[in-house]
Amino acid sequence: MNTPKLGQLITRRLLLGATLALVILNIVIGFVSHQQLHDRMDSMLLELAVMEAKLSSAEKGPVHIHNSPMYLPGWSETTVRKGVVYDEHCKIVASSWVFKDTSEDTMPSEWCTREQISTHHVGFITLDGLELRAASTTMIHSKPGTQLSFLVGVDHRIIDGAVFRLILLGIFPSLFLLLVLWGLSRQIISTVTRDLEHISLSCENLHPEVISELDEEILSHKLAVSEHAPQEIKILSSTLSALVLRLQRTLQTQSRFIAEAAHELRSPLTAMRGEIEVTLRRERENSEYKESLEMLLGDVLKMQQLGEHLLTTAKAQEHLISLQSIDLIDVLKNCVTSLGAQFKEVGLTVELPTQNTLMVKADALYTQRVCINLLHNVLMHANASKVKLWIKEYADTRVELFIEDNGQGISEDLLPHVFAPFQRKSQHSYGLGLHMARRLMEAQRGSLNLHQHNDGVTWRLEFVQSDRSS
C-alpha cells in the first residue's frame, strides 16, 4: 500500500475541515431559515386571519372565508391557503374548501375559545387529513351576534419543501466553493510541501549503513532544498543536515570503536588459548602449571581492565552520570595523594591551585578518575619534573582547570589522534585513557582539550561552577 504524500495529507485534511465547516454552516442556515420561515408564516397567517375576520364582519351576507393563492420563499409555485370559521362550541360554520370527510364538522377542543374575549392562536392542526400550520383569531361577529373564530392555514409540507429548496440553493455554492478551494489548495500546498516531501523522502532512505558510508558533501546535498524554498524550510533543511552529519560521525566513531575493541579483546584471548593449549599437550611439573596460571592471570587482569574502561566509556556516552555540587580542590588533593608515592619515586613535584575551595557541578568519582588519568599520563609518558595545577574562573559560571607539565610533549604524528580510542604510547596500555577522560568530561557538561607548547603540554578541563549562594 502506497503511503500518501505530505501534500496529499494536508490537502485531504484541509478539504475535510472545509467540508465539515460547510456542512455545519448549511445545517445552521437550514435550521435558522426553517425557524425564520415559520415565524414569518405565523405572522402572515395571523394577519390574514384578522383580515378575514374584519372583511366578513364588514360584508353583507352569510359568514364566509376567502380562498386565495400565496407565495412562499424558496417555492416557485403558488399555494392555496385554507380557511375555516367556527363558533365557540367548536362547530365549523364555513370553510374555503369542501372536506373529503363530510362527517368532520368540529374543530379540536384546544382551538376553541368559549370566553367572550378577543384572542389569537397559532400552531399545528390536522383537518380533513391535512396537517396545516395555522393561525386563528376570535371576535364577536356583528351579523349573527355570536363569537366566531377565523382560521387560516397552509399545508405544512409546502413550508418544509420551501426550506429544503433554500438548503439546496445553499449546497450548490458550497460545492462550487469546495472545488475552488481544492484547486487552490493543491496548487499552494504542492508548492509549499515540495521541499518538505523531498526532505522526508531523503530521511526515509537514510539508513544507518547508508549514513556511515556516504561522503559528507553528498549527504548534505541529499537534504538540500531549492533556492526558492521558504526561509523556514531552508532552516529546517540546514538543521537536519547538521544533525545527520553529527549522527554520521557518531556512527563512524561507534563502528570504529566496536571493531577496535573486538580486536583488542581478541589478542589476550588468543594468547590465553595458546597458553592453555601448550600447557595441556603433556603432563607438567607444579611449577610449570603455576607459571602458566600466572601468565593466564595477567591476561585476565588485562581483559578486566579493558572491560572496565569500555564500560566507563559506554556510560559516559549514554550520559548516565549524575551531576552534583562537589569541591574541585578537594578532588584534586585526593588525586595527588593517591599518586604521591609514584611522584616521589620519579622525582616529580606537583603544585596545587591556590584556592582553598571551589564548588562545581560534576561527579566526584568520575572527575577524580579523569584527573588521575591525566596525571598518570604525565607520570608515565611526559618525562617531566614538575606539574602545575591552576584554576581560572569566569563571570559566566565557567571554571577551567589547567594541568601543565614541563615534559617532552607529544609527537606530531600522534597529536591529531590523541583522544581517539586505542592510540597506544606503549604496549602497557590499551590507549583508552584519554578517550575515556574526554567522554567523562563531556558527560559532565564540560570539555577536555590539549594545548602543546615549547615547555611541555597543558591539559585544559572546563567545568560548570555551582551556584555560589548554594
Q: Which domain holds residue 359?
A: 324-465
For residue 176, being part of any structural domain is answered with no
**pLDDT score for 470:** 44
Region 279-294: what's the mean pLDDT? 83
Q: Quick check: 109 and 46 in contact, CB under 8 A?
A: no
Identify the CATH number of the domain in which residue 47 sits: 3.30.450
Write out the three cell numbers for 120. 389569537
In tens, the pLDDT along 410-454 reads 877 777 777 776 555 544 444 567 877 888 888 888 999 998 887
Higher pLDDT, 175 or 359: 359
For residue 360, being part of any structural domain is answered with yes
In tens, the pLDDT along 368-413 reads 888 988 998 888 888 889 999 999 998 888 899 999 999 888 877 7
In tens, the pLDDT along 160-199 reads 777 777 777 777 787 888 788 777 777 777 766 777 767 7
Residues 27 and 149 in one domain: yes
In tens, the pLDDT along 185-239 reads 777 777 667 777 677 777 776 766 666 666 666 666 766 777 767 777 777 777 8
> Quick one: which of 138, 114, 116, 112 has its CA closest to 125?
112
% the chain with pLDDT above 90: 11
Write out the three cell numbers for 289. 602449571
Neighbours of 426 (CB within 10 A): 8
**pLDDT score for 213:** 63
Report the alpha-carbon distance of residue 270 to residue 281 in Å, rounded.
Answer: 17
Q: Which of 93-102, 118-127, 268-277, 445-454 has the lowest mean pLDDT?
A: 268-277
**pLDDT score for 428:** 42
For residue 180, being part of any structural domain is answered with no
**pLDDT score for 1:** 44
Write out the three cell numbers for 78. 403558488
Residues 251 and 158 in one domain: no
Report the alpha-carbon distance of residue 64 to residue 53 in Å, rounded.
Answer: 9
Q: Given 318, 340, 372, which residue is the final one in a domain?
A: 318
Region 52-79: what's the mean pLDDT? 75
For residue 240, being part of any structural domain is answered with yes
**pLDDT score for 68:** 75
Report the alpha-carbon distance of residue 247 to residue 452 in Å, rounded.
Answer: 30
Higher pLDDT, 303 or 256: 303
Residues 382 and 345 in one domain: yes
For residue 182, being part of any structural domain is answered with no
Q: Quick check: 405 and 456 in contact, CB under 8 A?
A: yes
**351 half-sphere exposure, CB direction, 13 A CA radius:** 11
Region 295-324: what's the mean pLDDT? 68
Report the alpha-carbon distance of residue 46 to residue 35 in Å, rounded.
Answer: 17
**pLDDT score for 424:** 53
Residues 153 and 260 in one domain: no
Q: Domain count for the chain, please give it.
A: 3
Region 23-38: what's the mean pLDDT? 81
> Quick one: which of 136, 157, 164 has its CA closest to 148?
136
> Quick one: which of 365, 288, 264, 353 has its CA closest to 322?
365
pLDDT of 256 higher than 70: no
